[in-house]
Structure 1
Amino acid sequence: MALQFTRHLTPNLRVYDNMDELSAFAGAPQGILDLERELMAKSELMFVGGQSLYESKRQRHDNIHVFPSSVDTAHFKSARDRSVDPDDQREIPHPRIGFFGVIDERMNMDIVAGISALRPQWQLVMIGPTAKISPESLPRAKNIHWLGCKQYQELPNYLSGWDVGIMPFALNEATRFISPTKTPEFLAAGVPVVSTPITDVVNPYGAAGHVEIASSAEEFVAKIDLLLSRPKAHWLSSVDASLAEMSWDKTWARMMLHIASVGAESQSAREGQLV
Structure 2
Amino acid sequence: MNQQEQLHPKQSAASTTSLRPTLLCLSHLRWGFVYQRPQHVMSRLARDYDVLFFEEPIFEGRQTAHLEHYGVAEGVTVLVPRLPKGLDEAQVIDAQRELLDAWLAQHWPSELMLWYLTPMSQVFTDHLEANVVIFDCMDELSAFKFAPPALVEMERRLMAKANVVFTGGYSLWEAKRQHHDNVHAMPSSVDVAHFAAARQPIPDPADQAAIAHPRLGFFGVIDERFDIDLVRELATQRPEWQIVLIGPVVKIDPDTLPRSPNIHYLGAKQYEELPAYLAGWDVALMPFALNESTRFISPTKTPEYLAGGCPVVSTPIRDVVNGYGGSGVVAIADSPQAFIEAIQAALDLRTQPGVIAQYADKALDGMSWDKTCAMMKEQIECQR
- Per-residue displacement from partner, 1:90-134 (whole Å, max 9, x unpaired)? 000000000111101101111101111111111000111000111
Residue 130 of structure 2: aligned partner = 11
Q: What secondary structure sits across from 1:190 in the alignment?
A: coil
Q: What secondary structure sits across from 1:121 in the alignment?
A: coil
Q: What secondary structure sits across from 2:292 in the alignment?
A: coil
Residue 187 of structure 1: aligned partner = 306
1:123 matched to 2:242? The reply is: yes
- Residue 83 (structure 1) shift: 2.8
- 2:213 maps to which of 94, 100, 112: 94
- 1:242 maps to which of 359, 363, 371: 363
1:255 matched to 2:376? The reply is: yes
Write the mapping of 1:192-271 to structure 2, written as runs, cut at 5 A.
192-230=311-349, 231=352, 233-263=354-384
- Residue 232 (structure 1) shift: 5.1
Structure 1: runs of 5+ lacking an equivalent: 264-275
1:74 matched to 2:193? The reply is: yes
Structure 2 counterpart of 1:139, one-letter code: P
1:162 matched to 2:281? The reply is: yes
- Per-residue displacement from partner, 1:206-245 (whole Å, max 9, x unpaired)? 1232310001111111011111111252332132133230
Q: 1:232 to 1:55 in 2, by over 3 A?
A: farther
- Per-residue displacement from partner, 1:52-86 (whole Å, max 9, x unpaired)? 10111111001111011100111111011133111
Greater fraction of residues in helix: 1
Residue 107 of structure 2: aligned partner = none
- Residue 5 (structure 1) shift: 0.7
Structure 1 counterpart of 2:208, one-letter code: Q
- Residue 259 (structure 1) shift: 1.3
Q: What secondary structure sits across from 2:189 in the alignment?
A: coil
Structure 2 counterpart of 1:157, one-letter code: A
Q: 1:235 to 1:86 in 2, by over 3 A?
A: closer
Q: What secondary structure sits across from 2:178 in the alignment?
A: helix
Identity of aligned residues (%): 56
Size of the aligned set, in residue pairs, is: 263
Q: 1:248 to 1:43 in 2, by over 3 A?
A: same
Asked whether the equivalents of residues 310 and 356 of structure 2 are also in contact (C-alpha less than 8 Å), the reply is no
Q: What secondary structure sits across from 2:135 in the alignment?
A: strand
1:178 matched to 2:301? The reply is: no
Flag the structure with more relative contact order, 1 or 2, with Cα contacts below 8 A and sequence separation at least 6.
Answer: 1
Structure 2 counterpart of 1:250, one-letter code: K
For the residues of structure 1 that align with 2:383 and 2:193, how far apart are their CA atoms? Answer: 32
Structure 2 counterpart of 1:262, one-letter code: Q
Task: Select between 219-228 and 204-213 the one with higher mean Cα deviation.
Answer: 204-213
For the residues of structure 2 that align with 1:229 and 1:95, how far apart are their CA atoms? Answer: 11
For the residues of structure 1 that align with 2:347 and 2:328, how far apart are their CA atoms? Answer: 16
Structure 1 counterpart of 2:373, one-letter code: W
TM-score between both structures, scaled by the size of structure 2:
0.67
- 1:55 maps to which of 160, 169, 174: 174
Q: CA RMSD in A?
A: 1.0
Structure 2 counterpart of 1:219, one-letter code: A
- Per-residue displacement from partner, 1:109-163 (whole Å, max 9, x unpaired)? 1110111111111100011100011111010111000111111110001000000
For the residues of structure 1 that align with 2:296 and 2:318, how far apart are their CA atoms? Answer: 8
Task: Select between 196-205 and 210-219 the one with higher mean Cα deviation.
Answer: 210-219
Q: What secondary structure sits across from 1:46 in the alignment?
A: strand
Structure 2: runs of 5+ lacking an equivalent: 1-119
Structure 2 counterpart of 1:165, one-letter code: A
**Which structure: larger Rg?**
2
